[in-house]
A and B are shown apart, each in its own frame.
Chain A
Amino acid sequence: MAFTLNKPKTYYLPIALFIALLVSLYLMSDATQVSSQFSDLFSTLIVLNIAGTIFLAGILVNNIGWLWRQSKQQAIGSKITTRIVVLFLAISVIPTGTVFYFSNKLLHHSIDSWFDVQIDGAMQDAIELSQRSLDGRTRNMLKSTRQLAAHLAGESDMLMSLTLDSLREQYGAQELTVLSKQGRIIVTTNLDPQVLVPNIPDRAILSQIRQGNEYIGLEPNQDSSLWIRSLVPLQSVNPPRYLQAIYTVPDDISQLATSVGTAYTAYKELSYLRQSLKFSFSLTLSLVLLFSVLAASWASFLFARQIVAPIRQLVKGTHAVAKGDYDKKLKVTQDDELGALLNSFNEMTTRLSNTRKQAELAQRSTEDQHAYLNTILAHLSNGVLSFDLAFKLRTVNQGAEQILNHPLSSYTGLSLDIISKRFPALDQITSLLQDKLSNTTTEWQHELIIEIEHQKKTLLFKGMPLLASNKKLSGYIVVFDDVTAIIQAQRNAAWGEVARRLAHEIKNPLTPIQLSAERMQRKLAKELDPANAEVLNKSTRTIVQQVTALKSMVNDFSDFARPPQSRLQAVDLGPFIEDIASLYQGQIAIFTIDIEDHLPKVEADTIRLRQVIVNLIKNAQEAILDAPEGSITIRIYKSSLAGTVEISIADNGSGIDNEMLTHLFEPYVTSKVKGTGLGLAVVKKIIDEHNGHIYVKPNQQKGTTFIIELPVSKTINTTNNS
């Protein structure tokens, strides 16, 4: 899978700046040439280059600071960056510095070599020769001026004005001017008639001449030619007057002298600028050196960052993958091996992500199946147990706990041996399972009758080996069910059939027997003597009584065999029980009724439920018959099981044998001398018809307690509540 390549644009600015500075350095270097057109920009270029160098130095300081912080934080890639930067600097500084040192030295030597003692002397001699050559001429000119002054001595200003022009022509002067003491022009004449204003000497010359001295001097003209200015005071003139004569130097001499003077001046200037030249060249070289080093350092940082960036990305990506983030994608900015590495990483994470998604789907599917199985197991009325090969309990469902009335799930992970030792109540089951699981490798089935909470239960166990996908034995699974109710129902059905047949077969002849006995007693009693009549009377009475008893027994059978005909309605148990109990007030010494407040109504057939309560009270009454302080307690309360109300009828009578407790609700089981043994069987049948439950438990001290659980009618109570 290929990822888009993002080209960084971070190089444009450095490259542009680098080129700009390079051009600037070139221009500065060029400007140092005498004939360069960039000479006027020299200072600006220096400022620009220094500013550029400072900028680069700032970047370097900033980068070093960044690298220092990175190293301090031990950031990824800081060591590589440091190494690259140091390597770059070493590579750039050593050769550049060497070149700089030797270039600078060579430059200084070259500049020094321009100047030589001999050249100095020659130049000095040349200028001196020129000056001496001109000195002779100037002295001659001074003499001429003196002669001119002698001509003008003692003359008035007016006369001077008349003679001055001819004198100028006579002596070959360019210009003659007579000046006053204050430097005011008195008379002047010039070879060039267009020149109206004469050349006035400066204040220093005037001051010198006023003191009676003479002046002679060579002066350059504007057109590079030379002239000689001479001033002498005029004798015997009052007020004092001064004659200034200006002579031109012949062009050939003037040009030669000027040429020598210009060359000398240029050499002297160059000599004077020697140090400045060295400084300028050194400055340029230094800037080039600094620029090279700083640019190299910047490049090193850019290069290092370029190298380290994908490594950092890789490390971050690896950390993300280590944390489980397989969707992490790295930005690919390079088209080289590192870019290929990033691409490979991205491909790897994509594959990992896909694999994880598939694994998650598979896991979710497994979890769904597990939840599905758990839900099925939890809602199975059958008990399900699973064991591993070491007979350790692995799985228990709610059905198993409900059937055995034992918190089996807390035994998960325990072996059958340990469960057997710790919980003897389960001994029968653990023994059976140990026996079957150890010795049977195929499917097995076994019925087991055990006593749970004083009730005998018939459990049907089925076991089978648990095979893994590779057909190897991985454990065992045991499914069991409480078949007590089924067996009881079968038994009840059988008894019901017996009772129905008995009722049918016995009840029919009873009425003729009773009627015949009564008729016989009525007919024969008058004809017999009193003694026989008494016998007859006694016999017929016995027959009638027995027939009545038989009828009663047959009615009981009928009741037992009769199909359910309950008409359920909402019954408030409190008043209902109080109403029944009122019939027995006074008959029982200690008769306590305890009814909880706010009891919900139950769905019940009042007639049949009354039959149950009456039957149980009668039983209790009979049980406490011989007890000195016999008492009966009826309690009605909300059961710990939700949606159930319990009625307990307890006595402190003789109690019931443990042997009998388990068969108490079966037909023809009774401890009474008289009785059909169907009372409690009918009671149980009625309670079953109410979807309730009845059980008996012996009191701790004495007596027996019957407990009836009746379900609360949800619809009725919901209606009432609303």
Chain B
Amino acid sequence: MPFFSSLSFAQDASLNTGVSIKQAQLKQQDNILFLKANIHYQFNPKVIEALNNGITLTFNVKLNIVIERSWLWNKHLYTIILPYHIKYHTLAATYQVTDLTTQRQQSFASLPAAVYALGNLKEIPLHKLSIDLLQKPNHSAILSAYLNIEALPLPMRPLAYITPAWHLSSSYQWPLH
């Protein structure tokens, strides 16, 4: 019987910010922790234009396991980064989403379908994490998703850093216990 450590639904408060985490969950199954998350990516025209012009976008989904402390900053126990590519294939006129961790590639005829697939993380095994974490108080998980500007083509980076349209990120924290 699967044991759900926590099931959290993030508020859809940042629809216009580009990225919002709708749901995040760590699930135990057969002594392995699985991450399930629903991240809503809302690309602005600038990002879509870049994508359609052949720019590959890299989105990182980062999971931090931290110990919350009252008087000090949180202590980071584990950090797992899951990078994803999304790019437009001109010849096939499809959008390709690639999980760089597993090198699994999917093609989508439309951008919304590709974006949905990008944000729909289904049972990603986290072998690095112990299932004991779910029993520990003061332990929290922080899931953040962001566009990796450093993975953009070099000439774009300076402007991307100073242009708000390229700052696509969201973060959500929930207790593990």
Contact = CB atoms under 8 A, between A and B. Distances in A.
Contacts of A204: 108-110, 112-113
Given A269-B54, A277-B155, A217 B90 contact: no
Given A280-B158, A283-B158, A220 B92 contact: yes
Interface in A246-298: 257-258, 260-261, 264-266, 268-269, 271-273, 276-277, 279-280, 283
A265 B158 CA distance: 22
Given A205-B109, A277-B155, A40 B150 contact: yes
A670 interface: no
Interface stretch (A127-135, A391-399, A534-542, A574-582): A127-135
Interface in A272-327: 272-273, 276-277, 279-280, 283
A202 B113 contact: yes
Interface in B76-118: 89-94, 96, 103, 105-110, 112-113, 116-117
Judged by DSSP, the binding face of A is helix
Given A203-B113, A273-B153, A218 B158 contact: no
Given A218-B92, A280-B155, 14 more contacts: A127-B90, A202-B106, A202-B113, A203-B113, A204-B108, A204-B109, A204-B110, A205-B113, A260-B91, A265-B90, A269-B53, A271-B53, A276-B153, A279-B158
Contacts of B92: 217-220, 226, 261
16 contacts: A34-B154, A42-B157, A46-B158, A130-B91, A131-B91, A202-B106, A204-B110, A217-B92, A218-B91, A219-B92, A220-B91, A257-B91, A261-B90, A268-B53, A269-B54, A276-B158
A222 interface: yes
B83 to A, nearest CB: 15
Contacts of A283: 158
Interface string A215-238: 101111110001000000000000
A514 interface: no
B155 A276 contact: yes
A188 to B, nearest CB: 18
A202 B91 contact: no
Contact of A261 (B53, B89, B103): B89
Contacts, number: 100
B122 to A, nearest CB: 12
B161 interface: yes
A39 B153 CA distance: 9
Contact of A220 (B49, B89, B155): B89
B49 to A, nearest CB: 8
A272 B54 contact: yes
Given A202-B113, A279-B158, A272 B55 contact: yes
B50 interface: yes
Contacts of A203: 113, 116
B156 interface: yes
Given A257-B91, A258-B91, A276 B105 contact: no
Contacts of A276: 153, 155-156, 158-159
Interface string B122-166: 000000000000000000000000000110011111110100000
A26 B61 CA distance: 34
Interface of B: 49-50, 53-55, 89-94, 96, 103, 105-110, 112-113, 116-117, 149-150, 153-159, 161
Given A43-B158, A269-B54, A269-B55, A219 B91 contact: no
A219 B154 contact: no
B54 A265 contact: yes
Contacts of A264: 90-91
B109 A202 contact: yes
B109 A43 contact: no
B113 to A, nearest CB: 4
A43 B53 contact: no
Given A269-B55, A272-B55, A280 B91 contact: no
Residue from A39, A127, A202 whose CB has the most chain B CB atoms within 10 Å: A202
Contact of B154 (A32, A130, A222): A32
A31 interface: yes
B100 to A, nearest CB: 12
Given A127-B91, A264-B90, A43 B161 contact: yes
Contacts of A34: 154
A268 B150 CA distance: 20
A221 B50 CA distance: 23
Contacts of A130: 91
Nearest to A277: B155
A134 B96 CA distance: 19
Nearest to A219: B107
Contacts of A40: 150
Contacts of B93: 131, 218
Judged by DSSP, the binding face of B is mixed
A285 B140 CA distance: 47
A560 B57 CA distance: 146
A347 B93 CA distance: 89
A279 B91 contact: no
A219 to B, nearest CB: 4
Contacts of A220: 89, 91-92, 94, 96, 105, 107
Nearest to A111: B155
Given A220-B96, A273-B155, A283-B158, A43 B91 contact: no
A280 B162 CA distance: 13
Interface in A98-138: 127, 130-131, 134
B150 A43 contact: yes
Contacts of B90: 127, 261, 264-265, 268
Given A43-B161, A265-B54, A272-B54, A280 B154 contact: yes
Contacts of B96: 220
A279 B158 CA distance: 9
Residue from A46, A219, A258 whose CB has the most chain B CB atoms within 10 Å: A219
Contacts of A221: 105
A31 B113 contact: no
A226 B92 CA distance: 8
Contact of A222 (B53, B103, B150): B103
Contacts of A257: 91
A259 to B, nearest CB: 10
B157 A202 contact: no
Given A203-B116, A226-B92, A268-B90, A43 B157 contact: yes
Contact of A202 (B53, B55, B89, B108): B108
Nearest to B92: A218
Contacts of A273: 55, 153, 155-156
Residue from B54, B91, B92, B107 whose CB has the most chain A CB atoms within 10 Å: B91
A31 to B, nearest CB: 7
B99 to A, nearest CB: 11
Contacts of A261: 89-92
Nearest to A206: B113
A129 B98 CA distance: 27
Contacts of B94: 217-220
The 3 closest A-B pairs by CB, nearest first: A261-B91, A272-B53, A269-B54
B154 A42 contact: yes
Contacts of A272: 49-50, 53-55
Contact of A268 (B54, B103, B109, B110): B54
